[in-house]
Chain A
């Protein structure tokens, strides 16, 4: 059967020309996603890509799977409807910082809270790209854009902190230019049962070029980031000579040998939250990798368990019973 044939990356490329700007970080993400999805053993007709509006949201058009390019900010609601209606489908959602955290912040919060089994890629470029360069809810204070000519005074969201606050069961961060890390992160997300949010630092070459260079550029990356991996010591630096220690609610840089081991499944999301807040401290490495991964009841499974229980208890409803029920009387 066709279903069992292994897919190649090429099988997942649609016949549509990719229309992102030359040099856009989206290309690398598309490439990595196609690469890891081909290896999951899931037939492409069982995959659905859902998106909202924005540059990132064109993603579904380039995947040779089922795809729904919906409306601005609402992709989580469409994805929830799709997953509830057919839990057999593998559903991925692609969104951006404007789509997911501004106009769609409410929906993103709720899909994470419910733990719908949908994988969410949040392309964060800290700018509105498709509308040509306005500040976004992740733009830094002071960013000068067309709508903030004197610099933004709008305090930004931290997407990881946001997701953790929503009770997300899987939260990770990766970088568009770090293919190996991105693929490993996407694979971990794919393997997670429940909502998985992956924030991807994505460079917009036109409107916010180099915004992540300070931490993500290849030459500084090893020194400026710390890769959180469950069960691994929190070690960073080109020479892997430094580490992080968690002391109460504080994190300190220490010699590698005294680094703590990272756990992403602590009962409280507190440690992950503390890590996510390191972003604000320029003296600390920027955490990437896996902030949180815990098992929790999955919304779509709970919904269907109730439907099945109702059918088991009452029998599958018949039209006649729908009408002829309760107190009735005859008129002859």
Chain B
């Protein structure tokens, strides 16, 4: 039998450094809640953690079918981790479809917990399976724990006022209780959450708490495992106060914080789109921070309203995903021409067109940098991890207000929904970049398109006496901002806008090379490939390979110093969840270097082993 990595009854130790669990069930089975609650409790116990929710675009695909399977993977650890793990050590499968979809990922020798209450012949047929995976050899090499969760929940909630159907909806909390027992976790945080969530429906809170407790106390099941496991708190994380955070939460908080650091209030004009909607939702709940949130009639109105708000002196923000980015293109061009601050958050998803709404991808990079008519330069940055979305949002606001420009912040579905511990910032260490609005006619007269040392024009709030002026999308004369069709002026203004955005380079750092300053291979990444790259480089370095890595936060303009860094490595590898967009960009910007593109466009993040294999195959040559 294959040796299990870190789990199994034959292992004497109950302590593990890290564990990966995947909860999988029907879209209506509450797997996302189950996973989030497990994550929440792990965070409170001080584990480092990373999550990967993976769910279909349909809210409730036909029950029991493979397209309707929803999964949530959580990795929790007593040491620093960068990814939610390549393979689960434990798979919880609530029905045959969930088992069929996920079993191929389970680590050899891993535990699979199966809800046999959902394994009748018709359930197997619904999953499109020709035979019962419990008996047809599918589970060979795994430890199989069979539990009729349907029946157990029914018995645990005997006498409950809930209908049989509602009782069955408590299955996920029974399962969660069982996993809490297995990994020696307390129930408290989830009990508190349930009481709060169902404060208006105490009978539902009570039933779910009962199910949770019953799962935790199911002694006869526990015998099947023979062991309980523990994962200690992570002590290698930098000291500080932490909370668990998803990428969209972090971006939302970062936008409000960034605005505050600029002395502004946020206006978000947005339109619901997966996987960006929760940014609008979160900001709508920040009204007491003075946030004005506006759910517009479409993507175009969303960005246009945000530009209107920026014109008025707010920090205009709009959030979207790829199809919405395409619609916002003309608005972005106007913001470039008006030279007003604006933050556009693009939470990328699989495309083109509607593509894979709930799956992740990094294929909007070139759209973000170049996807507008004419010469319309916009600074672009990308978050690397969920908590990094906070820092990137603050940085996006800084660039927007200091340079009077729209800024695009790229995130993706993996970052948006994934969670990790966030070390809370110390307030007095945050950067400050207070905006100074022009409040009166300056000496020499008011010129709407005069420029400061960053080539930024003055920001004037309508309502300021004496500074009435008109701006628009027609080309403007240098300084006065009047309509101008003069050929020389147009050439001048096109170059001026380009130079202004290129000038952002002066205020961004050269990203550090992690590993040795020179060597055989440099892995260059951007966005959410960060975790997989960091893990793969760690692993290959531990084997003695001369591999280093560099992660780009600023994609446009690119930071200074890259050319020199690239020159110090024999080869440069760029893994991306697209067909090599950064590689293409770097080839054109740094033509004297060769870049090896490694692309994967499956709607799924890179697995660490895929990257380690790639790195090793390059180094073997």
Contact = CB atoms under 8 A, between A and B. Distances in A.
Genuine A/B complex: yes
A64 interface: yes
Given A323-B253, A329-B44, A317 B312 contact: no
Interface residues of A, number: 66
A53 B304 CA distance: 14
B419 interface: no
Contact of A81 (B44, B309, B468, B471): B309
Contacts of B296: 77, 80, 110
A313 B289 CA distance: 12
Contacts of B287: 306-307, 309-311
Interface string A19-54: 000000000000000000000000111101111010
Contacts of A51: 472
Contact of B311 (A44, A46, A82, A107): A82
B46 interface: yes
A326 B39 CA distance: 14
Contact of B424 (A44, A60, A323): A323
B363 to A, nearest CB: 26
A236 interface: no
B340 to A, nearest CB: 10
A228 to B, nearest CB: 30
Interface string B220-252: 000000000000011101111111100000000
B330 interface: yes
Contacts of B290: 307, 311, 316-317
B429 to A, nearest CB: 12
Given A65-B468, A66-B470, A88 B242 contact: no
Contact of B334 (A65, A71, A330): A71
A85 B308 contact: yes
Contacts of B330: 71
B305 A84 contact: yes
A85 B300 contact: no
A1 B348 CA distance: 52
A207 to B, nearest CB: 21
B130 interface: no
Contacts of B427: 319-320, 323
B373 to A, nearest CB: 11
Nearest to B292: A84
Nearest to A109: B297
Interface in A65-108: 65-71, 74, 76-82, 84-86, 88-89, 106-107
Interface in B430-466: 430, 461-466
A313 B461 CA distance: 29
Given A66-B469, A327-B40, A85 B260 contact: no
Contacts of A2: 465
A78 B468 contact: no
Given A77-B305, A82-B308, A329 B43 contact: yes
Interface string B298-341: 10111011111111111010000000000000110110001000
A286 B483 CA distance: 39
B614 interface: no
B509 interface: no
Contacts of A85: 267, 292, 308-309, 312-314
Contact of A310 (B233, B253, B288, B301): B288
Contacts of A84: 267, 292, 294, 305, 309
Interface string B32-49: 000000001001111000
Instruction: Indicate the member of B238, B269, B294, B425 with the most A CB atoms within 10 Å.
Output: B294
A82 B463 contact: no
A171 to B, nearest CB: 20
A56 B482 CA distance: 18
Contacts of B469: 66-67
B470 A60 contact: yes
B292 A307 contact: yes
Contacts of A314: 288
B186 to A, nearest CB: 13
B251 to A, nearest CB: 13
A191 interface: no
Contact of B473 (A69, A79, A82, A319): A69
A53 B333 CA distance: 15
Contacts of A77: 269, 296-297, 300-302, 304-305, 308
Contacts of A313: 288
Contacts of B267: 81, 84-85
Nearest to A113: B297
Instruction: Indicate the member of A43, A63, A310, A311 with the most B CB atoms within 10 Å.
Output: A310
A14 interface: yes
A82 B269 CA distance: 11
A188 to B, nearest CB: 25
A81 B302 CA distance: 9
Contacts of B462: 45-46, 48, 66, 82, 86, 89
Contacts of B291: 307
Instruction: Indicate the member of A51, A80, A307, A331 with the most B CB atoms within 10 Å.
Output: A331
A86 B44 contact: no
Nearest to A308: B287
Contacts of A209: none
Contact of A70 (B244, B304, B309, B465): B304
A313 B189 CA distance: 26
Nearest to A62: B470
B259 to A, nearest CB: 10
Contact of A78 (B234, B253, B304): B304
B243 A319 contact: no
B460 to A, nearest CB: 8
B308 A44 contact: no
Contacts of B235: 331
A61 interface: yes
Instruction: Indicate the member of A16, A63, A86 with the most B CB atoms within 10 Å.
Output: A86
B474 interface: yes
Given A74-B304, A307-B287, A322-B256, A86 B312 contact: yes
Contacts of B45: 329
Contacts of B461: 86
A61 B302 CA distance: 25
Contacts of A14: 470
A78 B307 contact: yes
Contacts of A68: 308, 311, 338, 470-472
Contacts of A310: 287-288
Given A45-B463, A61-B483, A307-B290, A89 B331 contact: no
Given A85-B267, A327-B44, A331-B238, A46 B463 contact: yes
B113 interface: no
A74 B296 CA distance: 12
A43 B465 CA distance: 8
A315 interface: yes
A314 B163 CA distance: 38
27 contacts: A45-B463, A48-B462, A53-B473, A61-B472, A66-B469, A67-B470, A67-B472, A69-B473, A77-B269, A77-B300, A77-B304, A80-B301, A81-B316, A84-B267, A84-B305, A86-B462, A86-B463, A88-B463, A306-B287, A307-B291, A314-B288, A317-B288, A322-B256, A322-B260, A330-B241, A330-B242, A331-B240
**CB-based closest 10 A-B pairs:** A81-B308, A69-B472, A81-B305, A77-B304, A317-B289, A67-B470, A310-B287, A77-B301, A66-B462, A85-B312
Given A51-B472, A86-B461, 9 more contacts: A64-B468, A67-B471, A69-B473, A78-B311, A81-B316, A110-B301, A309-B287, A316-B289, A322-B253
